[in-house]
Amino acid sequence: MIYLDNAATTVVCKSAYNKMIKLLSDDYANPSAIYSFSSSARREMNLARYSIAKLINAEPVEIYFTSGGTESDNWALRGINNGEKKHIITTSFEHHAIINTCKYLEKKGFDVTYVEPDEFGIVDPDKIRRAIRKNDTFLISVMFANNEIGTIQPIKEIGKIAHENNIIFHTDAVQAFGHIQIDVKELNIDMLSASSHKCYGPKGTGILYVRQGIKFQPFIHGGSQERKMRAGTENVPAIAGFGAACAEIMSKNNYNQAYILSLRNHFIKRITSEIDYCIINGSQLSRLPGNINVSFAYVDGEALLIQLDLHDIVCSAGSACNAGQKQVSHVIKSIHVPELYSYGTVRFTLDEHNTIEEIDQTVDELKEIIIKLRQMSSEYKTRLKV
Ligand code: PLP
């Protein structure tokens, strides 16, 4: 199999796997217990908290373990102590964990402004500034990197604007965390969501970073775990695995970006020179190294994905068929990809385990599949008179 869907999830790395086996089989105590058998589980949690904090230049006490990116996003938006203020600013191309939490908050009487990115998938900080309502905006939430098109947002500038206006700044960094450098202090970030399974840890755990001094409320009520802020017996094996994955990431040279970038550039060069009627979506400059999002005219993205799957190549589509109706994702819509192309959108996300041979094989298969799919498209035949 050629796995090109690393934005969906990543393989668990060896050090995370080994750590988890140890905690599942030997050191399985409840970390809140007071007998000495629990000390190993507690120590592993502290170690994980330390490694995760170090990766983003935070303090260990600023890290709260959650069940993953979705919970962290929910908590960030719903847990902030907002007093009388009712206005939130976010963007129209956030992950559904943010968008749907905002929709929920709107029903509860909050007001949300959804700022549109430009055609390159970048949010203009000035648009964020203009959306601020004096004495009413209490939170700005802008994703670090988009999950479909991989574009990296001007986080530092947006954080600065938030702070100049006494507004809390949260970023959903689920796609960026562990793949590019993040320094929460330098980038003016108050709250940050991250997920273990997107960076070689196990599924079902993540973190919410909350800068010390920020007032926020628990989201899940119960016991006194996580300094009384997030109740429930901790998923110690997963947390320790997440920590081990972060320690391994830290030992790599600049996240192996140069290698991944070389694969991506080769992929894009071949696609754009060997397949006609295709466009690469999103900025090529401010983008996660492993992300390629491409739209092919006269092709159905889901059909392409299924054909690639039959050839043992795994990627994801930017459109889906819902109740017999084709729907383009809100991200692809937000950057105004022309309709002729938008239905044929696919996302390939590479990582350090991929090879140049895999990329070449993928492009070779893509070329043949696209020819076949276009031969079945009446629109293609009439427009091009083939
Ligand atoms: N935010 C972004 C940007 C994501 O890409 C994802 C998952 O794809 C999430 C949040 C949700 O993370 P999790 O799968 O850990 O709940």
pLDDT, tens digit (0-9, with 9 covering 90-100), for 115-144? 999 999 999 999 999 999 999 999 999 999
Q: Which residue has the tokens 């330390």?
A: 50
Please say whether the beta carbons of 365 and 320 come within 8 A: no
**Tokens matching residue 206:** 């993540």
Distance 145 CA to ligand 1 centre (A): 11
Domains and their CATH numbers in the chain: 2-8+254-377 (3.90.1150.10), 14-250 (3.40.640.10)
Statement: residue 381 has pLDDT above 90: no
Q: Which residues neighbour 238 within 8 Å (Cβ) at sequence distance 6 or greater?
A: 20, 196, 201, 202, 203, 204, 205
Nearest CA to 296 out of 350, 384, 366 is that of: 366
**For residue 73, what are its two tokens?**
């996003």
And the tokens for 162?
């938030």
Which of 182, 193, 198, 288 gets mutated to test ligand 1 (max ligand atoms within 8 A of its CB)?
198
In this prediction, residue 384 carries a pLDDT of 67
**Helical axes 14-25 vs 236-250, angle rounded to 10°:** 150
- pLDDT (tens digit, 9 = 90+) per residue, 250-267? 999 888 999 999 999 999
Mutual orientation of helices 39-55 and 14-25 as an angle, nearest 10°? 160
Report which of residues 6 and 385 the model is more confident about. Answer: 6
Summarize the confidence of residues 21-25 as an average pLDDT. 97
Q: pLDDT tens for residues 100-110?
A: 999 999 999 99
The 10s digit of each residue's pLDDT in 200-253 is 999 999 999 999 999 999 999 999 999 999 999 999 999 999 999 999 999 998
- Pocket residue to mutate for ligand 1, from 195, 293, 316, 329, most atoms within 8 A of Cβ: 195
CA-wise closest residue to 93 among 122, 132, 124, 70: 122
Q: Which atom of ligand 1 is nearest to the CA of 196?
A: 15
Confidence at 385, pLDDT banded by 50, 70, 90:
low
In this prediction, residue 379 has a pLDDT band, given cuts at 50, 70 and 90, of: confident
- What mean pLDDT is predicted for residues 291-318? 95
Q: How far is the centre of ligand 1, averaged over its atoms, from the C-alpha of 374 (Å)?
A: 33
Average pLDDT, stretch 12-28?
97
Residue 266 has a pLDDT of: 98
CA distance 258 to 352: 10
Whether 292 contacts 347, CB under 8 Å? yes
* pLDDT (0 to 100) of residue 321: 67
Q: What average pLDDT does range 10-20 have in this prediction?
A: 98
Residue with CA at minimum distance from ligand 1 atom 13: 69
> How deeply is 108 buried, as exposed, middle or buried, from its count of CB atoms within 10 A (0-12, 13-18, 19+)?
exposed
- For residue 64, pLDDT beyond 60: yes
Q: Which residues contact 241 (CB under 8 A, 6 or more apart)?
A: 12, 16, 17, 19, 20, 23, 196, 201, 202, 205
Catalytic residues: 321
Condensed to tens digits (0 to 9), the pLDDT of residues 313-367 reads 999 987 666 667 788 999 999 999 999 999 999 999 999 999 999 999 999 999 9
Which candidate, 40, 48, 19, 7, places its Cα nearest to that of 247? 48
The pocket around ligand 1, CB under 6 angstroms, is made up of 68-70, 73, 95, 97, 143, 147, 172, 174-175, 195, 206
Q: What global pTM score does this model have?
A: 0.97
Which of 141, 148, 175, 200 to mutate for ligand 1's pocket (most ligand atoms within 8 Å of CB)? 175
Q: What is the pLDDT of residues 177-201, one digit of tens each?
A: 999 999 999 999 999 999 999 999 9
Q: Which atom of ligand 1 is nearest to the CA of 204?
A: 15
Ranges assigned E (strand) in 67-214: 87-91, 111-115, 137-141, 168-172, 191-195, 206-210
Question: What tens digit of pLDDT does each residue of 150-164 get?
Answer: 999 999 999 999 999
Give residue 70 CA to ligand 1 midpoint distance, Å.
Answer: 6
The two three-digit tokens of residue 115, written as one number: 């700022």
Cα-Cα end-to-end distance for the chain? 34
Asked if 368 and 308 count as a contact pair (C-beta separation under 8 A), the reply is no
Burial of 215 (0-12, 13-18, 19+ CB in 10 A): exposed
Confidence check: pLDDT of 386 > 60: no
Yes or no: say if 78 and 274 are a contact pair by the CB < 8 Å rule.
Answer: no
Q: Which DSSP helix (H) or strand (E) runs through 346?
A: strand 345-349
How far is CA 337 from its chain centroid? 21
Over the chain, what is the mean pLDDT? 95
Strands (E), 166-223: 168-172, 191-195, 206-210
- What's the CA-to-centroid distance between 69 and ligand 1, angstroms? 5
| Amino acid making up residue 40 | S
Instruction: Supply the residue whose CA is at minimum distance from atom 14 of ligand 1.
Output: 69
- Count the neighbouring beta carbons within 10 Å of the beta carbon of residue 129: 17
Please give the helix or strand (H or E) that residue 65 lies within, else none.
strand 63-66
* Residue that is written with structure tokens 């994702």 in the block: 329
